[in-house]
């Protein structure tokens, strides 16, 4: 398999574009396309490199640029995407509503469908994905439907859709191809099929070398295979390049598994500090990580419940419902935990982790038979459901 | 839930694909004037010079399809009803899908910018060669036919007032910054027209901004993007204002090209019978999966044959590529298809025939009244409307009576020079020309459009002539396809500027010998 110019080359190209256009594009907005391109390139660089701080900076840039444009529709769309990355779903809706004329464009309909999914309106989400795809087959539309199908238990169908999405991509879109390969690898990983997952990750690396996203998933796979040292080494490299506390938490968990408690403690504390700082700064996108952290790492039920409730306040879906149930279970509030996990189970979602946690909650609530059934279902979906994984 | 891994993070708002080497410009085709060694046909496929003129994109694959055939003999009494039209289209479809088995010239470029050229399924033999780019070479087929080939950078042979055409169809992205997400505001809902509309400030020429639509764009204004007037614009002298300038928007620009001069005897076993050489071009780009030499285990096209109409005919190499663009007949895509829609149909555009009729009806309501206002006769039935009208059709049956004459009228030639042998060759009609979307080169003619396409043909202006009533007379002569290209017509018309719509000649002289297209700039 030959190697291609990848992540580093693309980032360099984007940086060159940014330098060529320059911040002056904002001060003399004679050229709308130049200004839009500048903002988009800044967004693209932050998004591709996974730099959440830079993304926050781009949001301020968008807010500066919008009043300079007579038709800021594309920037509102960018703003909506950015708000989505930060889990500020109300802001997503507000950005989309700001430009009435583009509300029914393909891009807006897709984001609105994503919103439906995040708010647990599954049928609406699926219908919207399918409607948009009926009008035009696009790789990102197929990827969205694949993601939906996997969450609803159709892993085979999801993989087929990802493959269809890949078939729409050309040699000029290798990053997108690598992204899809990572998703296909993740599908396999979440079914315990580690060899197949590794094949997809290797394809992704060959297609677009140096992409930290691939490294993150390879590290997760190695961690699940018990190769904690190798996993930690890779993840440390990724964490050094990408400022992401969730990866630091994963490093902490890996070092715990490796038996290096002191290093593990360092990474976990670093992650927690960053999560809390983010929340203190008014950001909401680490709420679910805080819930995960307190329930699984710190084993502090009360704190976990607090953050899980806050996350659920943003978006109520099977994932936030089960996270709250899991936190309540940790906090010993079994009756309420049972109530929330039943709500999550009634969503129609089919996910090993969901059934695994539901089984534990049922058993802790005294329903051993129900709990066993759920646990067996979890293992039938993913025999390695309790292995190491990163909280993506 | 995969919060940082969900599909929302795929960043697909804007296309990351810049101007592409897959963008086909034109396919020229005409009988060679050089008859030494037997009849030969010249075919030139031109496309965007990306990364630069004379340097090729290694991810691309170009095909030139060639299907020699007999000249169609038109029945004495043709059925010009809608049912007749549909029967005709069905016949064309069957012919192209089952009867004609096109031969193919396939070109890819390697890392050293050398062209790999392969000839498939030719009666004169199949063979391949590797040639240097930007060099004229002569290849020998297994049967001993000498084939000239040039694969390299050239001056773009297309000469055209593209902004004028875009102004005529109120195509906003040429004049305004249109947000990527606003596909609904590309062709604005304003009548198509050859003459400026009174009060159409969204598109009318602004003397204070002469570069507008050429090198300058404005911000798309707020408010209704429509027109509510009721007449063509006239100046204080009573002159209409032409939407065209006659200037060459492609002046000084290059293309990359595949230029071939092929003996007819190499293309067909029956050169005396097969007097028509049908040809069209295709651009394909390597699929991502194949960029890393990994073919998906379960290629989805096998399960979804609708994606590529002719998927079952694709060979193993083509399965690794994605069809991006096709080119057969000038303006078949740009004017007669919804812009940016189904450009991959190519010769298979009979699938779009109902749309073609509706689109022609839509254009006719714009161009027909413009022609009438100039005192010329139009073949489009616009109920003597005094001004262009914005009208679209949902049903073919509704549009057909309006466009029937346009579709079936013979396009007169300006003189007999095209018919170099004086044979009883029927004049071509729009229905023959645009469906299927191929360049049909008549070897018994000079190959001037619509009997092929010569480099010097002003096809954009000839395209407009199909809305003229070819039974009408001017100065004792029937209307013809060069009428609108005649400066004298415009000099005497109540219009400014007094110019044919498009430039009458290329900015750089063509060469008298192979490869015919001029050196690049």
Per-residue pLDDT reduced to its tens digit, B336-348: 665 444 445 555 6
Percent of all residues in chain B with a pLDDT value above 70, rounded to a whole number = 88
| pLDDT (mean) for A227-236 | 97
Task: Say how far apart CA A242 and CA A247 lie, in whole Å.
Answer: 9
CB distance A207–B288 less than 8 Å?
yes
Same-domain status, B311 and B362: no
Phi first, then psi, for residue A256 (nearest 5°) are: -60, -50
Same-domain status, B370 and B331: no
The per-residue pLDDT for B15 is: 44
Residues paired with B232 in a beta bridge? B197
- Chain B within 8 Å of A108 (Cβ-Cβ)? yes
Residue of B nearest to A392 (CA): B2
Among A31-35, A132-136, B102-106, B145-149, the range scoring the smallest mean pLDDT is A31-35
Is B115 domain-assigned?
yes
The per-residue pLDDT for B311 is: 39
Instruction: Name the pLDDT band for B86 (thresholds 50, 70, 90).
Output: confident
Among A114-123, B119-128, B180-189, B338-347, the range scoring the smallest mean pLDDT is B338-347
C-alpha distance from A37 to closest chain B C-alpha (Å): 9
The per-residue pLDDT for B314 is: 56
The per-residue pLDDT for B78 is: 76
| pLDDT (mean) for B434-460 | 94
Quote the ipTM score: 0.87
Instruction: Name the pLDDT band for B445 (thresholds 50, 70, 90).
Output: very high
> Residue B420 in contact with residue B444, Cβ under 8 Å?
yes
First to last CA, chain A: 29
CB distance A101–B9 less than 8 Å?
no
pLDDT of residue B13 exceeding 50, the answer is no
Does A62 or B315 have the greater pLDDT score? A62
Task: Say how far apart CA B2 and CA B374 lie, in whole Å.
Answer: 64
pLDDT of residue B88 exceeding 50, the answer is yes
- The mean pLDDT of chain A is 94
H/E stretch holding A224 = helix A212-224
Q: Encoding tokens for residue B450?
A: 């619509």
> Which 3 state secondary structure label does DSSP give B157?
coil
The per-residue pLDDT for B352 is: 64
Query: Which among B7, B220, B288 is the nearest to A174, CB-wise?
Result: B288
The per-residue pLDDT for B514 is: 97
> Residue B403 in contact with residue B361, Cβ under 8 Å?
yes
> Taking CB atoms and an 8 Å cutoff, what residues of chain A touch B179?
71-74, 102
Is B339 domain-assigned?
yes
Task: Say how far apart CA A221 and CA A347 lie, in whole Å.
Answer: 29
The per-residue pLDDT for B97 is: 67
> Taking CB atoms and an 8 Å cutoff, what residues of chain A touch B9?
47, 85
> Which 3 state secondary structure label does DSSP give B176?
strand
Among A328-337, B341-350, B426-435, the range scoring the smallest mean pLDDT is B341-350
Instruction: Name the pLDDT band for A360 (thresholds 50, 70, 90).
Output: very high
Report if pTM > 0.80: yes
Instruction: Name the pLDDT band for B301 (thresholds 50, 70, 90).
Output: very low
Is B191 domain-assigned?
no
- Chain B within 8 Å of A275 (Cβ-Cβ)? no
The per-residue pLDDT for B18 is: 57
pLDDT of residue A60 exceeding 90, the answer is yes
Same-domain status, B326 and B470: no
> Residue A331 in contact with residue A302, Cβ under 8 Å?
yes
In A109-168, the residues whose Cβ lies within 8 Å of chain B are 111, 114, 137-140, 143-144, 146-147, 151, 160, 163-164, 166-168
| pLDDT (mean) for A283-287 | 95
The per-residue pLDDT for B335 is: 63
H/E stretch holding B462 = helix B459-465
pLDDT of residue B17 exceeding 50, the answer is no
Instruction: Name the pLDDT band for A99 (thresholds 50, 70, 90).
Output: confident
Q: Which among B349, B366, B391 is the end of a domain?
A: B349
CB distance A32–B289 less than 8 Å?
no
Q: Which among B349, B371, B403 is the end of a domain?
A: B349
Residues paired with B261 in a beta bridge? B42, B148
Is B227 domain-assigned?
no
The per-residue pLDDT for B95 is: 72
The sign one gets for the Cα dihedral A257, A263, A269, A273 is negative
CB distance A207–B287 less than 8 Å?
no
- Chain B within 8 Å of A186 (Cβ-Cβ)? yes
Same-domain status, B264 and B398: no
How does DSSP assign B356-411, residue by residue? HHHHHHHHHHHHHHHHHHTT--BSS--TT-SS------S-HHHHHHHHHHHHHS--
Tens of pLDDT, residues A110-124: 999 999 999 999 999
| pLDDT (mean) for B443-461 | 97
Residues 6+ apart with CB under 8 A from B439: B27, B28, B29, B278, B279, B280, B328, B329, B452, B453
User: Across B141-210, where does the E strand assignment appear?
Assistant: 146-155, 176-177
Query: Which among B9, B294, B301 is the nearest to A85, CB-wise?
Result: B9
CB distance A171–B20 less than 8 Å?
no
Phi first, then psi, for residue B403 (nearest 5°) are: -100, -5
Q: Count of domains in chain B?
A: 2
Supply the DSSP symbol for B117: E
CB atoms inside a 10 Å sphere around CB B137:
14
Is B432 domain-assigned?
yes
The 3-state secondary structure of B247-294 reads CCCCCCCEEEEEEEEEEHHHHCCCCCCCCEEEEEEEEEEEEHHHHCCC
The per-residue pLDDT for B498 is: 96
Is B284 domain-assigned?
yes
Task: Say how far apart CA B241 and CA B507 lie, in whole Å.
Answer: 25
The per-residue pLDDT for B369 is: 98
Same-domain status, B374 and B325: no
Residue of A nearest to B58 (CA): A171
The per-residue pLDDT for B183 is: 79
> Residue B335 in contact with residue B168, Cβ under 8 Å?
no
Same-domain status, B492 and B416: yes
In A333-372, the residues whose Cβ lies within 8 Å of chain B are none
Same-domain status, B368 and B303: no
Is B170 domain-assigned?
no
Q: Apex CA B161: angle with CA B436 and CA B347, to 5°? A: 10
Same-domain status, B153 and B283: yes
Same-domain status, B331 and B363: no
Domain interval for residue B419? 353-496
First to last CA, chain B: 56
Task: Say how far apart CA B118 and CA B151 lie, in whole Å.
Answer: 13
Supply the DSSP symbol for B319: G
Residues 6+ apart with CB under 8 A from A30: none
CB distance B288–A176 less than 8 Å?
yes
The per-residue pLDDT for B299 is: 35
The per-residue pLDDT for B349 is: 59
| pLDDT (mean) for B185-198 | 95
- Chain B within 8 Å of A311 (Cβ-Cβ)? no
> Taking CB atoms and an 8 Å cutoff, what residues of chain A touch B181?
73-74, 77, 102, 105-108
Task: Say how far apart CA A227 and CA B355 lie, in whole Å.
Answer: 60
Domains, chain A, in order of start with CATH, read 284-392 (1.25.40.10)
pLDDT of residue B68 exceeding 60, the answer is yes
The per-residue pLDDT for B310 is: 42
The per-residue pLDDT for B337 is: 60
> Residue B188 in contact with residue B211, Cβ under 8 Å?
no
The per-residue pLDDT for B356 is: 81
Tens of pLDDT, residues B266-294: 999 999 999 999 999 999 999 998 988 64
The per-residue pLDDT for B303 is: 33
- The mean pLDDT of chain B is 87
Same-domain status, B281 and B372: no
Q: Which among B334, B349, B364 is the end of a domain?
A: B349
Task: Say how far apart CA B489 and CA A318 lie, in whole Å.
Answer: 73
pLDDT of residue A349 exceeding 50, the answer is yes
Same-domain status, B393 and B262: no
| pLDDT (mean) for B322-351 | 65
The 3-state secondary structure of A25-53 reads HHHCCCCHHHHHHHHHHHHHHHHHCCCHH
| pLDDT (mean) for A141-155 | 97
| pLDDT (mean) for A356-369 | 97
How does DSSP assign B220-244, residue by residue? PPSS-------SB-B-TTS-EEBS-
Q: If you search the block for the tokens 């999405």, which residue do you land on?
A: A165
The per-residue pLDDT for B307 is: 33
Instruction: Name the pLDDT band for B295 (thresholds 50, 70, 90).
Output: very low
Instruction: Name the pLDDT band for B208 (thresholds 50, 70, 90).
Output: very high
| pLDDT (mean) for B143-151 | 96
Same-domain status, B303 and B420: no
- Chain B within 8 Å of A171 (Cβ-Cβ)? yes
pLDDT of residue A381 exceeding 80, the answer is yes
CB atoms inside a 10 Å sphere around CB A197:
25
Task: Say how far apart CA B332 and CA B309 lie, in whole Å.
Answer: 19
Pick from B291, B283, B316, B282: nearest CA to B301: B316
> Residue B253 in contact with residue B521, Cβ under 8 Å?
yes
Q: Encoding tokens for residue B231?
A: 């007449």
In A40-69, the residues whose Cβ lies within 8 Å of chain B are 40, 43-44, 47-48, 50, 69
- Bridging pattern class, strands B240-241 and B495-496: parallel
H/E stretch holding B25 = strand B24-31
CB distance B292–A71 less than 8 Å?
no
The per-residue pLDDT for A30 is: 67
The verdict on whether omega for the bond into residue A220 sits within 30 degrees of 0, i.e. cis, is: no
Is B259 domain-assigned?
yes
């Amino acid at each position: 398999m030959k190697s291609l110019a990848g992540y580093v080359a693309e980032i360099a190209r984007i940086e060159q574009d940014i330098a060529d256009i320059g911040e002056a594009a904002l001060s003399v907005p004679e050229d709308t396309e130049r200004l839009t391109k500048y903002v988009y390139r800044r967004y693209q660089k932050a998004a591709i490199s996974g730099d959440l701080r830079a993304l926050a900076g781009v949001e301020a840039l968008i807010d500066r640029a919008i009043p300079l444009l007579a038709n800021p529709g594309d920037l509102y769309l960018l703003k909506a995407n950015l708000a989505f990355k930060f889990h500020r779903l109300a802001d997503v809706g507000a950005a989309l509503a700001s430009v009435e004329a583009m509300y029914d464009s393909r891009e807006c309909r897709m984001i609105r469908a994503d919103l439906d999914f995040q708010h647990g309106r599954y049928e609406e989400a699926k219908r919207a994905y399918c409607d948009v795809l009926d009008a035009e087959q696009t790789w990102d539309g197929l990827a969205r439907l694949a993601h939906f199908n996997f969450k609803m238990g159709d892993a085979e169908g999801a993989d087929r859709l990802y493959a269809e999405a890949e078939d729409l991509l050309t040699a000029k879109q290798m990053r997108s191809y690598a992204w899809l390969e990572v998703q296909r690898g993740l599908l396999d990983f979440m079914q315990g099929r580690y060899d197949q997952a590794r094949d997809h990750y290797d394809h992704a690396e060959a297609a677009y070398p140096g992409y930290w996203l691939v490294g993150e998933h390879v590290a997760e796979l190695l961690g699940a295979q018990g190769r904690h040292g190798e996993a930690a080494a890779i993840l440390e490299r990724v964490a050094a390049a990408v400022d992401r506390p969730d990866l630091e938490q994963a490093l902490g968990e890996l070092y715990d598994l490796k038996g290096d408690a002191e290093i593990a403690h360092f990474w976990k504390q670093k992650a927690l500090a960053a999560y809390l700082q983010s929340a203190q700064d008014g950001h909401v996108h680490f709420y679910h990580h805080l819930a995960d952290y307190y329930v699984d790492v710190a084993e502090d039920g009360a704190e976990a419940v607090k953050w899980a409730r806050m996350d659920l306040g943003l978006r109520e879906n099977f994932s936030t419902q089960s996270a709250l149930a899991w936190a309540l279970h940790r906090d010993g509030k079994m009756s309420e935990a049972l109530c929330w996990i039943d709500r999550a189970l009634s969503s129609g979602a089919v996910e090993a982790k969901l059934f695994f946690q539901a089984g534990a909650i049922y058993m802790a609530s005294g329903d051993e038979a129900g709990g066993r059934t759920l646990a067996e279902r979890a293992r039938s979906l993913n025999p390695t459901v309790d292995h190491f994984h990163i909280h993506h | 839930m995969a919060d940082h891994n969900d599909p929302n993070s795929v960043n697909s708002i804007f296309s990351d694909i810049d101007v592409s080497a897959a963008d086909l410009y034109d396919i020229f085709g005409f009988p060679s004037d050089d008859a030494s060694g037997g009849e030969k046909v010249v075919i030139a496929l031109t496309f965007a010079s990306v990364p630069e003129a004379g340097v090729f994109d290694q991810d691309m694959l170009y095909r030139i399809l060639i299907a020699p055939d007999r000249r169609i003999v038109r029945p004495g009494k043709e059925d010009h009803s809608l049912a007749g039209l549909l029967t005709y289209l069905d016949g064309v479809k069957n012919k192209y899908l089952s009867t004609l088995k096109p031969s193919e010239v396939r070109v890819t470029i390697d890392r050293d910018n050398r062209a790999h050229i392969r000839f498939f399924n030719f009666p004169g033999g199949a063979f391949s060669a590797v040639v240097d780019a930007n060099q004229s070479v002569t290849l020998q087929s297994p049967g001993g036919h000498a084939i000239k080939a040039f694969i390299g950078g050239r001056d773009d042979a297309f000469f055209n007032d593209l902004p004028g055409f875009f102004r005529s169809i109120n195509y906003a992205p040429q004049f305004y910054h249109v947000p990527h997400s606003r596909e609904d505001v590309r062709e604005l809902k304003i009548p198509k027209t050859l003459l400026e509309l009174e009060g159409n400030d969204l598109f009318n020429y602004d003397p204070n901004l002469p570069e507008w639509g050429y090198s300058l764009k404005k911000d798309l204004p707020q408010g209704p993007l429509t027109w509510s007037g009721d007449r063509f614009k006239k100046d204080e002298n009573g002159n209409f204002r032409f939407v065209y300038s006659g200037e060459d928007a492609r002046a000084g620009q290059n293309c990359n090209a595949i230029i071939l001069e092929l003996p007819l005897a190499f293309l067909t076993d029956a050169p005396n019978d097969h007097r028509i050489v049908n040809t069209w071009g295709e651009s394909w780009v390597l699929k991502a999966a194949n960029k890393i030499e990994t073919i998906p285990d379960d290629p989805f096209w096998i399960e979804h044959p609708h994606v590529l109409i002719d998927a079952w005919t694709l060979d193993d190499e083509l399965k690794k590529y994605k069809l991006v663009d096709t080119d057969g007949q000038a303006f078949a895509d740009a004017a007669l298809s919804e812009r940016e829609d189904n450009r991959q149909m190519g010769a298979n555009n009979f699938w779009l025939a109902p749309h073609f009729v509706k689109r022609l009806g839509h254009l006719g309501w714009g161009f027909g009244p413009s022609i009438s206002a100039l005192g010329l006769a139009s073949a489009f039935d616009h109920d003597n409307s005094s001004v262009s009208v914005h009208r679209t059709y949902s049903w073919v049956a509704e549009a057909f009576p309006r466009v029937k004459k346009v579709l079936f009228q013979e396009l007169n030639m300006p003189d007999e020079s095209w018919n170099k042998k004086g044979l009883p060759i029927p004049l071509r009609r729009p229905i023959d020309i645009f469906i299927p979307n191929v360049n049909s080169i008549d070897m018994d003619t000079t190959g001037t459009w619509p009997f092929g396409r010569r480099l010097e043909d002003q096809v954009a202006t000839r395209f407009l002539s199909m809305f003229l009533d070819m039974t009408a007379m001017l100065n004792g002569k029937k209307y013809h396809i060069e009428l609108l290209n005649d400066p004298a017509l415009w000099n005497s018309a109540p219009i400014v500027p007094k110019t044919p719509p498009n430039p009458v000649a290329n900015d750089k002289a063509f060469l008298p010998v192979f490869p015919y297209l001029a050196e690049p700039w």
